[in-house]
Amino acid sequence: MKVNGRDYRTIWMDGPCVKTIEQRLIPHAFEIVTLADYAQTAEAIKTMVVRGAGAIGAAAGFGMAQVYLQAPDGAGRDAFVEEGYQTLRATRPTAQDLFFALDEIRAAADSARTLPEMRTAAVARANELADANAQACRRIGEFGAPLIADGATVLTHCNAGWLAFVDWGSALAPVYAAHRAGKKVRVLADETRPRCQGANLTAWELSQEGVPVEVIADNAAGLLMRRGQVQLVITGADRIAANGDAANKIGTYEKALCAKASGLPFYIAAPLSTFDLKCPNGDAIPIEERSADEVLYVYGRDDAGAFSRVRVAPQGVSARNPAFDVTPAELITGLITEKGIIAPNRAAIAKVLAK
């Protein structure tokens, strides 16, 4: 996708290093950071330098490749690989793409015999997964674009655009495809407290693409849906259970309820790597609890141009900060995937994943 007219991917490997966009600085600054080893890559995932389901998966895959690149040859190799694998697994608990990528890289490397062969296989598989993620999201855009009528307003929550994946994104891929096809499409981006990914990231990347976008307070979405000022809701997902229940950024469930009450279609867009057939339903999806500081403080650039953190709650008050919620399958109109739009139920999901 475009940044100041130049094509970028969100994350890639450069020799033994991983390079990625520093998402915590957007929209105020655009920087590429270099992650020299798997520990730095794991820390970048944990601290949300890189975030978003597909981007986390790619980062984990590249990080696992770095584990093999750093592993010693000899007796300590297996213990080093296991330690790196567990370190990367422990970074974020909800996003299924992370676990999918780690297991794929390990399986590819373990099929080789010597350490040099393992390194080659790990790097090759990590790059294959990143390319597949970008291609899957492009296909999600192609399947989802016909859902968007010319002149429609699409509401989205959090950021599931190209910053959240290797390229194209999930929820925003249909918007980009429709826009490039000449449709007049407008986006309402929920601010997405507490980290404000909608205000910071979604609005930024849509404006880079030239798609009209307005940021709204999270609690404004229901009113605008009821007034008929939204025609379609599309969000991403961090994990989709076998029965179609979907975990996404906190607040998504509320948007699905509002859409249902207003008679609006509510779609979730995600590549098949986000589906977890081992997870029977949404109740089995682990929900990450993040630091209370994300709720108690806001961070940004002040009028003087300096970055600062400001407390918005009284001293001594605590906060709860679940990072995700689960939208039940019955509230989801359809799941937009790289293999088409599928029904959010166990049979349809199992059939597509079996192909």
**Same domain assignment for residues 335 and 200:** yes
Each residue's pLDDT tens digit, 133-164: 999 999 999 999 999 999 999 999 999 999 99
**Same domain assignment for residues 154 and 128:** no
Residue 260 identity: K
**Same domain assignment for residues 282 and 316:** yes
Residue 235 above 90 pLDDT? yes
Provide the angle, in degrees to the nearest 10, between the axes of the packed helices 38-46 and 77-89: 10
Least reliable range by pLDDT among 169-183, 215-229, 291-305: 291-305
**Same domain assignment for residues 111 and 157:** no
Looking at residue 337, which CATH number applies to its domain?
A: 3.40.50.10470
Looking at residue 51, which CATH number applies to its domain?
A: 1.20.120.420
Q: Which of 88, 117, 138 is the last residue of a domain?
A: 138
Each residue's pLDDT tens digit, 19-68: 999 999 999 999 999 999 999 999 999 999 999 999 999 999 999 999 99
**Same domain assignment for residues 184 and 87:** no
In angstroms, what CA-CA distances link 274 with 48, 133, 225? 19, 11, 28
| Residues noted as catalytic | 238
Contacts of 194 (CB under 8 A, 6+ apart): 294, 295, 321
Contact (CB, 8 A) for 19 and 13: yes
Max intra-chain CA distance, the chain: 67
Contact (CB, 8 A) for 206 and 246: no
**Same domain assignment for residues 134 and 207:** no
Q: Which of 90, 115, 138 is the last residue of a domain?
A: 138
Each residue's pLDDT tens digit, 330-353: 999 999 999 999 999 999 999 999
Residue 304 identity: A
Confidence of residue 77 (pLDDT cuts 50, 70, 90): very high
The predicted model scores a pTM of 0.94
User: Distance (Å, rounded) from C-alpha 199 to C-alpha 156?
Assistant: 11
Residue 1 above 80 pLDDT? no
Residue 56 identity: I
**Same domain assignment for residues 152 and 130:** no
Confidence of residue 206 (pLDDT cuts 50, 70, 90): very high
Average the pLDDT over 311-330 and give the result.
97
- Domain span at residue 307? 141-354
Residue-level length of the chain: 355
Q: Which of 138, 153, 169 is the last residue of a domain?
A: 138
Each residue's pLDDT tens digit, 288-304: 999 999 999 998 888 88
**Same domain assignment for residues 233 and 304:** yes
User: Distance (Å, rounded) from C-alpha 32 to C-alpha 49?
Assistant: 10
**Same domain assignment for residues 63 and 147:** no
Task: Give the chain's domain count.
Answer: 2
Contact (CB, 8 A) for 274 and 242: no
